[in-house]
Chains A and B, each alone.
Chain A
């Protein structure tokens, strides 16, 4: 997910049209900035990732969801 706004240890993040509040406590303050991409697990950002990896992760997720639904165009 991409960070759009940070307030203390909480960030507003978005991905694929979804916006969520993500907890940043697993990072030291100041390490993450708006615009950064993060890997999110159970509500927490657990690692910073590069934008290309984030895009690939999103495409993979979309393909998987399509496969689960049986969408031949996924």
Chain B
């Protein structure tokens, strides 16, 4: 049924002809993965361009926070736990110093990959005399479970090093620039499941750009692409929910309540982008004893990282949607999943990693001319 619906939508999209090249940005690694695995770019008409944007929380995690996690792990008698792909994210360091948590682990630091915040609690309960630091990078979909972990009863010896980010302020930041670089937005399905589709209404109402929430099958994505393209042709800009089986206008209100009770909204840095107002979560003061940013603040003060990407790496342009992954001079040459240079080649949510994993192993150098 999904395939039949997808074919119908493709036929419909192919009858649409925007007057100008039409750029549609997505901000979700899951969407980018479906686009690649289903081969949607090759199936769509040439005037419709799909652009991956800032949809990978590990990729935009500030260098300074990764450096802090490395310093804590190397210098304190703690266990650092973090989601697996964060272990391999490289940062700029002085020669000879660990460039990633993986290298810090090789140097003797006690660092464990986890797949759920619940594992952080389990490890903390199993080692009650040792401090456990949960280094968490994630968007709202992971922020809500992390808030639940805390609200449910956090062990005394569990601290959080938060790099939690909110998705919509990053999109707002792009739209507030002179050249946003995209004409329509596909809003993230799982973030919207938690926060509600209404969160994306500003894209249409304040910035006059069509926006559609999409799910993760090809038909849902094509429905969203069809919707925003048709809107543009009609001169309209509205919010459409193409994932109604999962996403409601208001989302999961209890999840939002937990977030509000646990976190405060703060201006936050995004690697490759800079500081974005109200784009991150920090622990509320009542949880300050669990805040690794406060407890280990001496390592924050030592950090001189500027959140730059490694030399020669175009991850910043990729994250901002200014350049496709394969236009980076390092893509597939110096930078591969087995030897990543930039964060976008590390994470499963990173555009470079997704493009590589879907079989695009060569640069389209001709398009750079």
Contacts and interface: CB of A to CB of B under 8 A. Distances in A.
Interface of A: 9, 23, 25-28, 31, 39, 41-44, 46-47, 49-50, 52-53, 56-57, 59-60, 63-64, 67-68
Nearest to A51: B245
Given A42-B118, A46-B144, A59-B2, 10 more contacts: A26-B144, A43-B118, A44-B148, A46-B141, A46-B145, A46-B252, A47-B193, A57-B217, A60-B218, A68-B357
Contacts of B247: 47
A50 B141 CA distance: 19
Secondary structure call for the A interface: mixed
B252 A27 contact: yes
A50 B193 CA distance: 13
Report the interface size class on chain B: 20 to 34
B258 interface: yes
Interface string B137-155: 0000110110010011000
B142 A52 contact: no
Interface of B: 1-2, 33-34, 37, 115-119, 141-142, 144-145, 148, 151-152, 190, 193-194, 215-218, 245-247, 251-252, 254-255, 258, 357
A23 B148 contact: yes
B116 A39 contact: no
A56 B2 contact: yes
B217 A60 contact: yes
Contacts of A68: 37, 357
B57 to A, nearest CB: 12
Contact of B255 (A26, A42, A56, A60): A26
A9 B254 contact: no
A28 B245 CA distance: 20
B245 A44 contact: no
